[in-house]
Amino acid sequence: MNPKQVQKYVMRYLDTTECQVLEKHPAYVTAKLSPDADRDLTGRSYYWSFVERTGAPPQTMTYTFVFDPEKHEELKAAKAVPPQGQPAPGGAQVSPGAAGPQQPASDSILGRYFGFVPTAPVARVPQDHVTFGSKRLQQIFNVARAKGRCVCLFEEPAREQSRAGSSMQYSTWLCVNFKAQFICDMKRDELHSLAMNLSTGEIVENFYPGLLERKLTPKLPAQAHTPKRTVTLAKAVTQLEQLLERKIKRYDHAWANEAQERLQEELARIQAYYEDLLKAAEEEEKKAEIQTQFDNRAKEIRWQYKPRVEINAVSSGIFHLDPMNAAGN
């Protein structure tokens, strides 16, 4: 991912979690985190447990996410405070020890319970480099993966339909995105997006790309209702899994036979090597050590070369869509 793609992803995360963007620049963005984002990113579990116990209004943190560190440092240098004794941008003189106007202490827990609030220092906004491979970006990936594995969304009605005030009945679809991995000493991944209509039982392949062209919302729009389901979620998932299994069985699996041949060749090679070592060893203790090494090496080779297919559901969702639009388009 290049910096523009990283920025687009982070901005999408901030918008989804309802964070307040305070300053935006191609090189960075400063945002006041929402309670959900603060819980996910700051690691302040003790603070949030305190808020839950006392019912105090939460004070979320403000963060600066830097996408282009070099450009950000240049901007910081340009905004540096002028040297002491030289005119400030507003015409005022910056002198040693000069203090700004005193701000009234804000109402706080310390003030309410102890009657004294120490002078608050200038707030420092923490910043993180959010580049591809950084810990902060990986943390956002993990949060999005954990909270986005299963969603429930509704398609927004067309403007003409909203103005007419007519009621709309959705068609409900269960979509599961499967990841099929073909593994041996090489690896190939495939993504399969399968969906089933929970009212009719219709199955559509390659469903997810069609969702990208629809306007979806997590809230049920006015004058819209969902139909009665005739297919349970468990039954729908089972049928989608069976469909994918039948599809993969029809593949050409010559790669698995070739991998099995390479596995046998590697096992024969290390067996010949360790047999010579066993013959040369005189002590039983040494032979036992060599045999253990051979068993461990053979186990590693079987894990590396043995052909197998692994299928996992990486994400899923229930989508209530306008039946006037063709499913999957």
Instruction: Work out the angle between the directed axes of helices 284-305 and 254-280 (0-180°, nearest 10).
Output: 170
Per-residue DSSP letter, 2: -
Distance CA 259, CA 305 (A): 6
Looking up tokens 């420092």 gives 124
CA distances for 219 relative to 69, 149, 320, 327, angstroms: 38, 18, 11, 20
| Helix or strand run (H / E) with residue 148 | none
Q: State pLDDT tens for residues 25-81.
A: 888 899 999 999 999 998 898 999 999 999 889 899 999 999 988 888 888 787 765
User: Which pLDDT value is given to residue 313?
Assistant: 92
Rounded to 5 degrees, what are φ and ψ at 307? -75, 140
Q: Which residues are within 8 A (CB) of 127 and not within 5 positions of it... i.e. 6 or more apart?
A: 28, 63, 64, 65, 66
Alpha helical stretches, state H, the chain: 3-16, 35-41, 45-54, 69-78, 109-114, 135-147, 159-164, 208-211, 233-249, 254-280, 284-305
Residue 197 forms beta bridges with which residues?
Answer: 173
Contacts of the segment 23-27: beta carbons below 8 A, 24+ positions apart: 25/75, 26/67, 26/68, 26/71, 27/66, 27/67, 27/68, 27/71, 27/72, 27/75
Distance CA 238, CA 242 (A): 6
User: Which pLDDT value is given to residue 244?
Assistant: 96
User: Which pLDDT value is given to residue 257?
Assistant: 94
Residue 17 confidence (pLDDT) above 70: yes
User: Which pLDDT value is given to residue 246?
Assistant: 95
Residue 92 confidence (pLDDT) above 50: no
User: Which pLDDT value is given to residue 103?
Assistant: 46
User: Which pLDDT value is given to residue 259?
Assistant: 95
Q: State pLDDT tens for residues 106-135.
A: 455 555 555 555 555 556 788 888 888 889
User: Which pLDDT value is given to residue 161?
Assistant: 57
pLDDT above 90: percentage of residues in the chain? 47
Mean pLDDT of 289-317: 93
Mean pLDDT of 311-319: 93
pTM of the predicted structure, to 2 decimals: 0.64
Distance CA 198, CA 69 (A): 49
Distance CA 158, CA 306 (A): 52
Nearest to 149 by CA among 280, 304, 317: 317
Looking up tokens 């307040």 gives 20
8 Å CB contact between 229 and 172:
yes
Say how many CA atoms lie within 13 Å of 275 toward its Cβ: 6
Residue boundaries of the structural domains of the chain: 1-77+124-147, 150-329
Distance CA 215, CA 217 (A): 7
Looking up tokens 């963007």 gives 21
